[in-house]
A and B are shown apart, each in its own frame.
Chain A
């Protein structure tokens, strides 16, 4: 049960797009279509932004999108805005009602 691998940081200018990868194994990301993504602002609890690989909860802008190929899931943020600056974590189901989170990616808006 090792943490999923994410890039430590990504940065881009406002209005541009960034894509964050989340690499697991054939036992987690590759096995289940149950990858979720969370946004965490400093000092706050994480907030769900994508679930079941590509679904968005009510209220989450469609600038956030998710996908998966093999053992790697991805989160894309389009039309980057200043308030998108945060830490982002992926999470995959592992079975038995338990999940595994990613190492986290800090998004910086230049």
Chain B
């Protein structure tokens, strides 16, 4: 069974850094792209970017380029999403998801809620 297990909820202050994770299991981790999707409260999902854990090839949506960093550690079957300086507007649920084809994802993590508040 394909599983993506994300790290737990986080609360940070504006300006702080943060790195959340997504661990894959039940499939060949290095041969599927993993994407990150933001969903702000009451809003629709937004593509942030995607990484190929096999060689760490990474692509970003223009709206998120330079705002976040996506990385992977294939030795532990884990991809990461990090911020160097959080803003209140980064408050959202963040999902990782396995790419199936094109921009279609077929398996999702359970989500990580990030709250940024002073």
Binding site for B on A (CB under 8 A): 1, 3, 32, 34, 36, 38, 45-48, 51-52, 57, 89, 91-94, 96-104
Contacts and interface: CB of A to CB of B under 8 A. Distances in A.
B61 interface: yes
B15 interface: no
Given A97-B50, A100-B47, A101-B47, A45 B108 contact: yes
Contacts of A104: 43-44
A1 B105 contact: no
B106 A48 contact: yes
Contact of B103 (A57, A89, A94): A94
B52 to A, nearest CB: 8
Contacts of A93: 102-104
Interface string B74-118: 000000000000000000000101011111111011110000000
A103 B39 CA distance: 11
Contact of A57 (B63, B95, B99, B106): B106
B49 interface: yes
Given A98-B50, A98-B59, A46 B45 contact: yes
Contacts of A99: 47, 102-104
A86 B97 CA distance: 20
The 5 A-B pairs at the shortest CB distance, nearest first, are namely A99-B103, A34-B102, A45-B108, A93-B102, A104-B44
A46 B108 contact: yes
B105 to A, nearest CB: 7
Contacts of B105: 48
Contacts of A100: 47, 103
Interface string B20-63: 00000000000001010100000111110110000000011111
B61 A98 contact: yes
B44 A97 contact: no
Given A45-B110, A46-B108, A48-B106, A89 B45 contact: yes
Contacts of B95: 45-46
27 contacts: A1-B63, A3-B44, A34-B102, A36-B102, A36-B104, A45-B97, A45-B108, A46-B45, A46-B95, A47-B108, A51-B100, A51-B101, A51-B106, A89-B45, A91-B103, A92-B103, A93-B103, A98-B47, A98-B49, A98-B61, A98-B103, A99-B103, A100-B47, A101-B45, A101-B46, A101-B47, A103-B44
